[in-house]
Amino acid sequence: MLRQALTGRLIRAVLVVVAGLLLAACEEAGYGGPKHLKPVPQKLVDKMHELDMPIDSAVYVRGYKESSELEVWKKTRSGSYKLLTTYSICKWSGKLGPKLKEGDRQAPEGFYTITPGQMNPKSAYYLSFNIGFPNAYDRALGRTGTNIMVHGACSSAGCYSMTDEAAGEIYALARDSFRGGQRSFEVHLFPFRMTPENMARHRYDPNYAFWVMLKEGSDNFVVTGQVPKVGVCGKRYVFNANASTRLNASAPCPPLNVSSELVAAVKAKQAKDDVLIAELAPKYEEERQIAAAKAAEQAARIAAMKEANAQKPVEAVAAAPADGAAPGETAAAPVAAGDNAALAVAEPAAGAASPAGDAADALAMASIGGTPAPGMPLPVASPIRPVVPVVEQPQPSGPGWWGKIKQKIPKVPNPFG
């Protein structure tokens, strides 16, 4: 009896667990509540357990324009950050480089802080959060802009746009981190992954000095495994620095206190990267110049062809024999004036060289205007073909053999009239 009772209880417990899992799966698949309250997908929950991350632990977001990627990192129970998942950025507008002013349709780059008040559960673009542009650094440089978001709907005019599914998951992860006690989370936006190879490829870009500063912030995270503390003074970003007075973004930096071990570790990484950047930069610059030269040559060729096609050519008209002219005589065709005039050519007179001879080779071409692209000759018009008079064949004077046969066949009168 006791064994049967225990077995029954065990079976009932297993059934309750299975039913709970099935119910959770059904709720996730067919969730019908407010979108901003939708639970984090089970696949991410499972991965959090695998990486030893509490569901409501702190989050950190890193984005890269060039590869169109947005990473979500979460804090583990050990205190370090690990990468939870990477999303594809559906659309971002503009080009590599910072946002400068309102209306330039440029997605920002830099270090931004998001608080609960910047989360928008009623976004017209599914779900969104405002990244807080312009930040203190942007304002110190006079940069302007409003309502720069990470949102859904896969449409961008200066924002970072995701699919609705990705936007919903990022929103849920941030929401749960706030529930867990995180008061704000960082979103760090880079032009590309801040590797020595990428820095070398863009070594001669006008934004390079700005990107070196962004790389310093990225290096701090790589070295420590912790989200860097970002400040602004002297119109530049500073990282993991403490000061006796409050930092002023536009005023010179006061004496800053930074861990000597951290400074040494970051400088060691930067020195190693700088060697590789110096080695690779000339190679990438040579490739860039070759590509630019080819692009310029192609553009010049296209421009020359457009200019040539835009000029209206004067048709060359071949002279035809005048009415009543004897075979061999020609009627002269008028020659149009101007540099682009076409030459008219008549049938060679009797006794002259055959049309297949020198006269045919000298047939006029329509003049082509414009300037040729380097190494590209101008197209030439097709030669005007000589007019060959049609010679009528002489008609026979009498009936032929078939006509003679028909004449010998007796004609039968038509009985029907």
- Residue 347's nearest CA partner among 336, 365, 358, 359 is 359
Q: Give the span between the Cα atoms of 250 and 261, in whole angstroms.
A: 28
* C-alpha span between 248 and 209 (Å, rounded): 21
Cβ atoms of 175 and 36 within 8 Å: the answer is: yes
- Between strands 119-120 and 91-92, the pairing is unpaired
Is 249:139 a contact under the CB 8 Å cutoff? yes
Which of 40, 291, 277, 21 lies closest to 172, judged by CA? 40
Check 49, 90, 159, 202 and give the catalytic one.
159
Tokens for 107? 């997605």
Active-site annotation holds for 151:
yes
Q: Which pair of tokens denotes residue 85?
A: 């998942």
> How far apart are the C-alpha atoms of 159 and 91, rounded to whole Å?
8
C-beta separation of 375 from 364 below 8 A: no
Residue 115, helix vs strand vs coil: coil
Q: What is the Cα–Cα distance from 110 to 137, expressed in whole angstroms? A: 9
Strand partners, 111: 188
Residues in Cβ contact with 117 at an 8 Å cutoff, skipping those fewer than 6 apart: none
**Beta bridge partner(s), residue 83:** 73
Q: Are strands 236-239 and 230-233 parallel, antiparallel or unpaired?
A: antiparallel
- State the DSSP H helix or E strand holding residue 129, giving kind and residue range, or none if neither: strand 128-130
- The answer to whether residues 192 and 198 touch, using CB atoms and an 8 Å cutoff, is yes
Task: Name the region of 142 (left: φ>0; alpha: ψ -120 to 50; beta: rest).
Answer: left
Per the CB < 8 A criterion, the answer to whether 331 and 354 are in contact is no
Radius of gyration of the chain from its Cα atoms, rounded to whole angstroms: 41
Which candidate in 36, 90, 151, 253 is catalytic? 151
Q: Which residues pair with 128 in a beta bridge?
A: 120, 151
Phi, psi dihedrals of residue 101, rounded to the nearest 5°: -155, 160
The residues assigned a catalytic role are 151, 159
